[in-house]
Structure 1
Amino acid sequence: MDTTPDGRQGKSESWVREWVGWSELAPAGNVEAGAWGTWELTYHVGRYGVDDGGTIVLSRRFASDWAKPQTDAPGEPHYASVRTSGSASLRVRWDPKSNVRPWQQGLAIDVFDSYLAEGDTVTIVLGDRSGGGAGTRAQTFCEKNFRFRLFVDCFGSNRFIEAADTPSFSIDPGNPARLVIHGPTEQTPDETSWMQVKLEDIWGNPCHGIDAQVSLTTEGGICEGLPGTVQFSHDESAVFRLENLRWEPGKWGRIRGDAGGDIPPAYSNYVHAMEKTHRWRPFWGDLHGQSEETVGTNTVDDYFAFARDMAGAQFSCHQGNDFQVTKDTWSAIRAATKKYNEPGRFVTFLGIEWSAVTGMGGDRNVMYLGDDGPLHRTSHWQLDDWTDQETDRYPLDALYDALDGRRDVTLVPHIGGRRASLDYHHAELERVMEIYSSWGRFEWFVEQALEKGWRVGITAGSDGHKGRPGASYPGAAIFGVYGGYACIYATELTRESLWEAILARRVYATTGKKIHLSFSAGDHFMGEEFESTDPPLFKVRAVGECGIESIELKRASQTVCSYRPKDATAQNTNWFRVSWSGARIHQRNRQTHWHGGLRVDKGKIEEPRNWQVDNLEEGVQSTDEQSIRWLSRTTGDADGVEFRLSGGDGATLFFETDIVSFEVKIDDIGAVPYVVEAGGVRQQVEVQRISRAPGNPHTNVTFDVDESNFHDGWNPYFVRLMQEDGALAWSSPIFVKKAKK
């Protein structure tokens, strides 16, 4: 249900075809996600013609990562050519702001030195190979109804009408490249458990129509009801949910899967089979993303169905930009939210993204407990119907006033394209804030809020626009990282129980992995606040999907202590990690380009590999015995490389990028990172030795700390955990106020 205007003013398709013209695409038919090829779109000019000074724009959606065309180098990838049968000359340019959101991205073709007449054609070749180029890459994520929309300004007036016969096709998943297995992280004594097994293509799309078999075994405990194999067939999605599993009580177990061929074995998250029922249980989901009704992909029904069936999420919320939400769209969102809510299986929340200019409050996700709630937009900026404009609430203080005193609504400050302002805060309405999403990692955002005295919990989500909530791969453009996950400690999987937990800040965030994390101080759990005359004793229990590299106890932005269980085995190895992280600015266009490399003057670099690189088109590009070259962009997150250096005693490592360059003696590098600051927003480079010991002996860690130096006033303590693969988790804080004796 795309609400973007087509400029036709209600004129029929036949009228548009006759007067404005029409388009056709070759080859026609569906396209495999991420496939390389050549596509030729031909525009047939209508009776109006196109005047000298007119423009034709081939538009695609904001979220699409179909490779950006270039028009300067015929022998290079993604070359686009344009020709006409008419007498006019054509000037081609890529314009990321050529149309109305969400169809901003476009190839603009200016007509000059003559005109185009009825019957003339304009042919656009995407991925033109005639000059020796490799073609171009299609969009990397699936879409049921992908469209190239052709808009024409026939009279040079800057008013565009969409041509007839817009090409439409589906983008389908490719062949299996990855096996994914996951499920809950705890099993109660009186319930059975479940696991999801799925095959994904190289871009993270769940496969379909694959004849494949996956063998399953357990590690760490017996799992009754687990079949030895799962069989996928040609007439179904390669996603299977195993039900009625029962793990051996008291054990931490996981499942190993083997799909054979070139697909690497996969391991599930660990599951703790509880011997007794605890007060709260962890539930996993994604509370942030949107669909094609605003700026995302596929419908709101598809959105919730993917979260439940393809991602295996246990809860979800849709968050469309408010200034695009029509009355009909709001009705559709409410209906889908109600339809997919199934207590005990999959819980949905109604939501809308209040999307203001940062200075007026910035982005806040609005979530409702019930099936309905007031729709207070920031504005009607992209709507035709302004009859209910009086319901708008702007700036943020006006929204606070409208919702003040309600316990059935909550706001979640976050950073997407625009960022939330920390100059506004409502302590009762804003109980948690987002530290991470597909847009990047924003630890500074949460830490600044805590330094300002906010008592908020920490969550994460995908903010996905690609129709994959709960499994939001970044693709190849715009978004920098895999989407985040929220874990909520609640009594049961219902709206009411999850809602109570969110308001109580009993929630933590991860960068998409199901890392088990428990954080307490005596009888007080994450999210709670209490006063104490004695120093608090904190306990952390963490179980990673792979080895845990570090656990930090933080008080707002200060690191109180750090526990690094693998440092002893890493200190004298000849394995190294060089990583870089941070963002250019706090605002939009924050990505830092780290394109460059490293080299050594002695020794031999062996087994170089990417570390934490999310974009398949980035990472290591070339290597030799003494150098590694890469492409990399970060948006608060970290990318890096790992390698073994043989015969490197006394060597010097040279790091060379446009952001920062430096040299360091290899003999001076230990397990604790050597850090070089690089300006911007926490831009830095780390060089360290790492352990490659097999078996991941530090997946299950208990960490205690007696914090004797807590300050007067409220102290916000939280945990930051990092696995050896770079995945992160952050607990919500425990707020401790130092009381006078």
Structure 2
Amino acid sequence: MDRFKLIDLLGKMYRVPREAADLMKSLGLIQWMASVDVPDPRGAGIIKVTPEVLRVARKGKILLRYFAGFKGIAPGGSLFLVIKAGGLLPPLQVSDPLAANYVKCVASNGAPLKVDLERDLYYYVWIRLQERGLHEGQSILVILGDDSEGSPGMTLREFACKIVFEAWVDCYGKEEFIRLQDQPSVRIVGGPASTLDVIVPSIIYPGEPIKTVVRAVDHFGNVVPDYTGPIRIVGDGFKITQRFEKRDKGVISFDLPYSTFGDKKRFKISVKDAHGNLKGFSNPSTLKGRDDEYGKGGYRIFWGDIHGHTGLSSAAYGTPFEYYEFARDVAALDFCALTDHDHYMTPEKWAIIREAASAFNEPHKFVTFLGYEWTHGSGGGTLIPGKYFGHKCVYFPTDVGTYYTYTRMEEAPDPESLWRCLEGTGALVIPHHTAYPLGYDQVSGTDWRYHNPRFERLVEIYSRHGSSEKAGGLRPIMILERLRSGKIKRTPAFNPEGSVQGALARGLRLGFVAGSDTQLGCPGNQIRNEPRASSSYNGGLTAVYARELTRSSIWEALWNRRCYATTGQRIVLSFKVNGHIMGEEFRLRGNEPRTIHAEVLGTSEISKVTVVRDGEDWYIHKGTSTHEEITVVDNSPLKKVTYYYVRILQEDGGMAWSSPIWASPSKV
């Protein structure tokens, strides 16, 4: 099956208009299905998949059985499987029964089968009956990882996930496909447990209970859902025992009394299992008094991931409800947003997204935001030849909002149209992976000439694509080249004009956030390296300084740029200039000095604390511990608007960036 035939078949099955882009067809795009008649699946048969559960990074075998319905399959008819896995499975093949990852297909009546397999973002298996068909009750067995003829079998990849199977049947050999109603799945779960992850609040106020989450995770960072047994939480002068039960699915939460830590200003919690085989430490936490600007404001640090995708984006996985459940119960995030792509969106999908965001929003426990991604230049290219504006996530402060797509000239084919559509909504728009070259593949960088400060108050400085901070920086954006061997070659390719520092040099006033841009439906950075060609790194997290865990409070913190970005670690970062906190703007006389203060609690030893002034690494402090605090004074004349921010680098490679603070001379 060549690519052109695959595109033709998918176009017929998903009712994709002929004028749609080939890439959209290859994604199995279903946004047009609402406007066409879907053939009645009754009588076309059923499919069953076993086993229900497999373990990551182990040899496994998946058996799919199709049973013909009363329509049967005539000679020349076929079964077409869509395996929604792509990079989640090793490279499947049907050509060599002695080689690894062999897919074997057998008809129960001995009918010869012609089998073609193609991989795009999913796997597609086309099984044709040439000489004999199938009668009702007869079956086709498909074995992923067959080893009966000498193959070493199939070793699963290291990512916990759910693999969904979709089946289409051409009963009469006319390439008129019927999609079966059932879409069975196999869960690939983590294990065995190798460590215990502990999450506590980054800021604790006196007298408050300490909400604690402990996760049993494997070597790859997956939660192990069947882990059970007692654990001990250990601190200065105390030991507390908790227990994982089967119903906990690898994650437990409980409150520790504030008195546990006495008057310690900074602390971590250590845990271990009953045998001492599994150990772990919490993220750092600080006891906050009211002695500085952050404390006087009553601010707490809340953690979130507001950039990710599900199966509603076709090339991604999972449902919106599974997405938020993972964020809340597994990743232990405080707030989250789902941003599925506009060019896959339909009114039906948008209704599901709105319902999920509303259902999971629970003030003081877990906050969600309604959003989507305006993905200009992806999939269908651009409706405005030669123009690439970049990708932007759009968020709404309430459950009221609608999507506007770049794929329709009457909606939002360019930023100016998008701004008009969003007028009066109170929306927040955040560009991401801004430093890619303009028009590069499906992940174009940002053209800052089309910036609108009324909506764009933040920029995503980091995600699994890399850092867009500056040219020559760490974790750079990569362009990708697929070699003949099938391997991906990654080469740094940075567009300085699209970078974050490029935007700040234009005078744009942008705070910093980070996200995962997960395609696995797993927000919160639990997947170390997602199995996507464009995933060069693990995802990031956003920290906000807000007074309480409610939509209005988190939104206010984001809107006022009182936030910072990390590469996934829960680093505690405080940054001030002349008493003004991150995201703020202030004025002073040109001859007045600027006193810059930064304090950081790292998740590992801190290597560098760098103060950036107007794009220059102005001051570098070399760290020696997990806690560093600096105060430096800039006595240079303040002749123009000047911005400052801090960049943190840990020994383990973890990073954090504070949002900038802008100082202006009084006469400006």
Q: Which TM class, normalised by the smaller chain length?
A: 0.7 to 0.9
Contact (CA 8 Å) 1:360, 1:396: kept in 2 or not? no
- Secondary structure at the aligned position of 2:247 is classed as coil
Write the mapping of 1:410-489 to structure 2, written as runs, cut at 5 A.
Answer: 410-415=428-433, 418-423=443-448, 424-444=450-470, 445-474=499-528, 477-478=531-532, 479-489=535-545
Q: Distance in 2 between matches of 1:158 and 1:542?
A: 62
Task: From the superposition, tell whether residues 95 and 270 of structure 1 become closer, same or farther in structure 2 (CA, over 3 Å).
Answer: closer
Matches within 5 A, 1:480-499: 480-499=536-555
Q: Which residue of 2 aligns with 1:587?
A: none
Pick from 713, 717, 721 the counterpart of residue 644 of structure 2.
Answer: 717
Residues 40, 178 of structure 2: 8 Å contact kept: no
1:237-256 alignment runs, 5 A limit: 237-246=249-258, 247-249=261-263, 251-256=265-270
Are the structure 2 counterparts of residues 241 and 123 from structure 1 closer, same or farther at C-alpha, using a change threshold of 3 Å? closer
1:211 — aligned with what? 228
Instruction: Specify the code of the residue in structure 1 equivalent to 2:143.
Output: V
The offset of 1:244, in angstroms, is 4.9
The 3 A distance-change label for structure 1 pair 203 and 156 is: farther
Residue 13 of structure 1 aligns to a residue whose secondary structure is coil
Indicate whether 1:734 and 2:661 are aligned. Answer: yes
1:297 aligns with 2:297: no
SS of 2:325 mapped into structure 1: helix
Offset of 1:540 from its aligned partner?
1.1
- In 2 relative to 1, CA 234–699 (structure 1 residues): closer, same or farther, beyond 3 Å? same
Instruction: Check 1:525–1:275 CA distance in 2 against 1; reply closer, same or farther (3 A cut).
Output: closer
Query: Could you say which residue in structure 2 is the equivalent of 1:134?
Result: 152
Residue 275 (structure 1) aligned with residue 289 (structure 2): yes
Contact 1:484 1:510 in 2 (8 A): yes
Matched, 1:319 2:339: yes
Q: 2:133 aligns with which of 117, 136, 146?
A: 117
SS across alignment from 1:272: strand
Report the 3-state secondary structure (helix = DSSP H, G, I; strand = E; otherwise coil) of the residue aligned with 1:458. Answer: strand
In structure 2, the residue matched to 1:16 is 44
SS in 1 for 2:88: coil
Q: What's the offset of the Cα at 1:517?
A: 0.8
CA distance in 2, matches of 1:297, 1:176: 24
Q: How is 1:514-529 mapped onto 2 (pairs within 5 angstroms)?
A: 514-529=570-585
Structure 2 distance, partners of 1:90, 1:449, is: 55
Residue deviations 1:206-256 (CA, integer Å, cap 9, x gap): 33343211111125xx7xxx7611111233323221225314335101100
State the secondary structure of the residue aligned to 2:421.
helix
202-211 vs 38-47, greater mean Cα deviation: 38-47
Q: Percent identity?
A: 27
1:259-408 aligned at under 5 Å gives the runs 259=273, 263-276=277-290, 277-279=295-297, 280-295=299-314, 296-357=316-377, 359-379=387-407, 392-404=411-423, 406=425, 408=426
Q: Alignment length, in residue pairs?
A: 578
Shift of 1:300: 1.9
SS at match of 2:43: helix
Structure 1 Cα separation of the partners of residues 445 and 132 of structure 2: 47
After superposition, the C-alpha distances for 1:514-539 in whole angstroms (9 at most, x for unaligned) are: 10111111121111123441342311
**Alignment partner, residue 92 of structure 2:** 69
* Contact 2:561-2:584 within 8 A present in 1 as well: yes
Structure 2 residue identity aligned to 1:733: P
Shift of the 552–492 alpha-carbon distance from structure 1 to 2, 3 Å rule, reads same
**Quick one: which amino acid aligns to residue 200 of structure 1?**
V
CA distance in 2, matches of 1:396, 1:48: 50
* C-alpha contact 2:518 2:530 (8 A) present in aligned 1: no
Distance 1:158 1:396 in 2: 41
Deviation by residue 1:42-74 (Cα, 9 ceiling, x = unmatched): 5567645464xx876432226761222145665
- Rounded Cα–Cα distance in structure 1 between residues aligned with 2:178 and 2:443: 30
Name the SS for the 2:91 alignment partner.
Answer: coil
Cα 1:63–1:377 change in 2 (3 A) is farther
What SS is found at the alignment partner of 2:333? Answer: coil
Q: 1:701 aligns with which of 628, 632, 636?
A: 628
The answer for the alignment partner of 2:119 in structure 1 is 95
> Kindly tell me: are residues 157 and 138 of structure 1, through their superposed partners in 2, closer, same or farther at Cα, counting changes over 3 Å?
farther
For the 8 Å contact 2:44–2:171, the answer to whether it is kept is no
Superposition TM-score, scaled by structure 2 size = 0.77
Q: Distance in 2 between matches of 1:372 and 1:147?
A: 32
CA displacement, residues 668-701 of structure 1 (integer Å, 9 cap, x when unaligned): xxxxxxxxxxxxxxxxxxxxxxxxxxxxxx1100
Structure 1 stretches lacking a partner, 5+ long: 97-103, 381-388, 567-697
CA 1:728/1:5 → structure 2, altered by over 3 Å: closer, same or farther?
A: same
CA contact (8 A) 2:611 2:644 kept: yes
Whether 1:507 and 2:563 are equivalent positions in the alignment is yes
5+ residue gaps, structure 2, are 1-28, 379-386, 435-441, 471-498
Bigger strand fraction: 1
* Separation in structure 1 between the aligned mates of residue 560 and residue 88 of structure 2, nearest angstrom: 39
Cα 1:541/1:363, change in 2 over 3 Å = same
The Cα offsets for residues 532-590 of structure 1, whole Å up to 9 and x where unpaired, read as 41342311111101100112222354322322224xxxxxxxxxxxxxxxxxxxxxxxx
Which position in structure 1 is the counterpart of 2:611?
A: 553
Q: Is the 8 A contact 2:228 2:246 kept in 1?
A: yes
Aligned to 2:480: none
Q: 1:367-390 deviations in whole A, cap 9, x for unaligned? A: 11112123323347xxxxxxxx96
Q: Is the 8 A contact 1:362 1:418 kept in 2?
A: yes
Check 1:346–1:44 CA distance in 2 against 1; reply closer, same or farther (3 A cut): closer
Give the conservation status (yes or no) of the 8 Å contact 1:438–1:472: no
Would the alpha carbon gap of residues 193 and 155 (structure 1) be closer, same or farther in structure 2, given more than 3 Å must change?
same
Amino acid at match of 2:522: R
Change (3 A) 1:44 1:475: farther
Contact 2:222 2:526 in 1 (8 A): no
TM, length-normalised to structure 1: 0.70
Q: Aligned equivalents of 2:174 and 2:659: distance in 1?
A: 54
Preserved CA contact (<8 Å) 2:105 2:113: no
One-letter amino acid of the structure 1 residue matched with residue 102 of structure 2: Y
Aligned equivalents of 1:165 and 1:491: distance in 2?
Answer: 46
1:268-297 deviations in Å (ceiling 9; x for gaps): 112111233431222111112233333443
Q: How far off is 1:192 after superposition?
A: 2.8
Cα shift at 1:513:
0.9
Matches within 5 A, 1:584-733: 698-708=625-635, 712-733=639-660
CA 546–28 in structure 1, closer or farther in 2 if over 3 Å, else same? closer
Deviations 1:414-473, CA, capped at 9 Å, x for gaps? 139524522421112011111222333333432222233321011011222323222431
Q: Look up the equivalent residue of 1:517 and give its one-letter code.
A: L
SS in 1 for 2:631: strand
Q: CA deviation at 1:109?
A: 4.1
The more displaced of 79-88 and 293-302 is 79-88
Secondary structure at 2:311's aligned position in 1?
coil
